[in-house]
Amino acid sequence: AETEIYRSSTFAPVNIAVIKYWGKRDTKLNLPTNSSLSVTLSQDDLRTHTTASCSDSFTSETLTLNDAPQDISGARTQACLRELRQLRQTLEENDSSLPKLSPMKLKIVSQNNFPAAAGLASSAAGFAALVRSIADLYALPSTPTELSRIARQGSGSACRSLFGGYVAWNQGTQLDGSDSVAYSVAEQAHWPEMRALILVASAEKKDVSSTSGMQATVATSTLFQHRVENVVPGRMEGMEKAIKERDFPAFADLTMKDSNNFHATCLDTSPSILYLNDTSRAAIRICTAINSSAEDGKPICAYTFDAGPNAVVYYLASHTDAVAGVFKGILGSELEGWEGVKGRDVKAGSVP
């Protein structure tokens, strides 16, 4: 008899946090020291597409990203695969009519629709797509929130890429991480005018990985405990409210303050972690100048930086000329696409 190949494909979007995750209370399970909140970017612009397949004929377990073989022996990837397999095994034990997929080797094929040279961390979309493609292949009845618990173990921020629109990750209190999951704050359609400008200050790989950076900050920064206890909780509430009320000035104010606060704890780490470079600081100055020239003095753009020098600038479509137009005027046509790259304009996104 022919050996059957079972297959399922899915997409997952990139997300960019406006309240940053920085610090782990459990490094094995990727349990964070604070809650965080992100905006999903449009899948037309930034996403991972993943096909998971399994068959009795496969002799080894493999993962390729943009056609390059990846190492899947790491504890993070293995944790995701183990959890998904266990869930499938339980289904198979309870229903003997189901094909026995759980013992089969998996073949996972991923493609990003943006170049590696964009310098964007893609692990969030990557792990979210990996988890959902296998969950679909295994026909697991899991909700996005349940899958976020699994994806979190691959990469913390990945748990926020199981949803579109505006997504929060609740830090949770349980030791096993069962309540450290993501939930939807609002769909993309709630605030369709949201735009993001991605400014590529460097396409190089970040020099301090988020995992080692977080651990160093937790261990040595005197500002860190203050951020976690006194700063982030109020900002999470304020940000949810700003999004629900579509209050861009409040959204922008909190976004910039939280990026600054996160990078302040990095600077306060010893030895210091410096993710921002001169180009990043120029982007901050341009945003500040744009905001101070806005008619009613309320911000119309908001910068944020992850663990690297590239800026993401949020703005509303009605302010395209005043924000994207100004950056394009300064950076020239290089802002049009990824080639020769200085960045790109993207929409806020949803998941299919």
Judged by the rule CB under 6 A, the positions of this chain that interact with ligand PMV are: 17, 20-22, 36, 121, 123, 155-157, 210-211, 306-307
Shortest reach from residue 180's CB to ligand PMV, in Å: 13
Phi/psi at 297 (nearest 5 deg)? 75, 5
CB closer to ligand PMV out of 156 and 165: 156
d(CA 265, CA 260) in angstroms, rounded, equals 9
Environment class of 130 (CB within 10 Å of its CB; exposed 0-12, middle 13-18, buried 19+): buried
CB of 82 to ligand PMV, least distance (A): 19
Nearer to ligand PMV, 102 or 155 (CB): 155
- Reading the block at residue 48, the tokens are 């991972």
> Is there a contact between 327 and 197 (Cβ–Cβ < 8 Å)?
yes
CB of 124 to ligand PMV, least distance (A): 6
Query: Would you say 17 or 104 has its CB closer to ligand PMV?
Result: 17
Nearer to ligand PMV, 171 or 210 (CB): 210
Q: What does residue 95 show for φ and ψ, rounded to 5 degrees?
A: -145, 100
Nearer to ligand PMV, 63 or 307 (CB): 307
Residue 322's nearest CA partner among 293, 297, 346, 344 is 293
Minimal distance, residue 317 CB to ligand PMV, in Å: 24
Q: Which is nearer to ligand PMV, 51 or 78 (CB)?
A: 78
Q: At what angle do helices 144-154 and 75-94 cross, to 10 degrees?
A: 140
Shortest approach of ligand PMV to residue 123 CB, angstroms? 5
Q: Smallest distance from the beta carbon of 214 to ligand PMV, in angstroms?
A: 7
In the complex with ligand PMV, the residue whose CB is nearer, 22 or 251, is 22
Burial of residue 332, with CB atoms counted within 10 A of its CB: 0-12 exposed, 13-18 middle, 19 or more buried = exposed
DSSP one-letter code for 308: S
Residue 2 Cβ vs ligand PMV, minimum distance, rounded to whole Å = 41
Cα–Cα distance for residue pair 190/174, rounded to 1 Å: 32
Give the pairing type, strands 105-112 and 62-65: parallel
User: Hunting for tokens 């493999």 — which residue is that?
Assistant: 62
Determine the Cα–Cα distance for residues 233 and 170; give it in Å rounded to an integer. Answer: 11
Closest distance to ligand PMV from the beta carbon of 16 (Å): 7
Closest CA to 45 of 110, 123, 114, 115: 114
Judged by DSSP in three states, 254 sits in: helix
Of 36 and 102, CB closest to ligand PMV: 36
Contact 76, 153 (CB under 8 A): yes
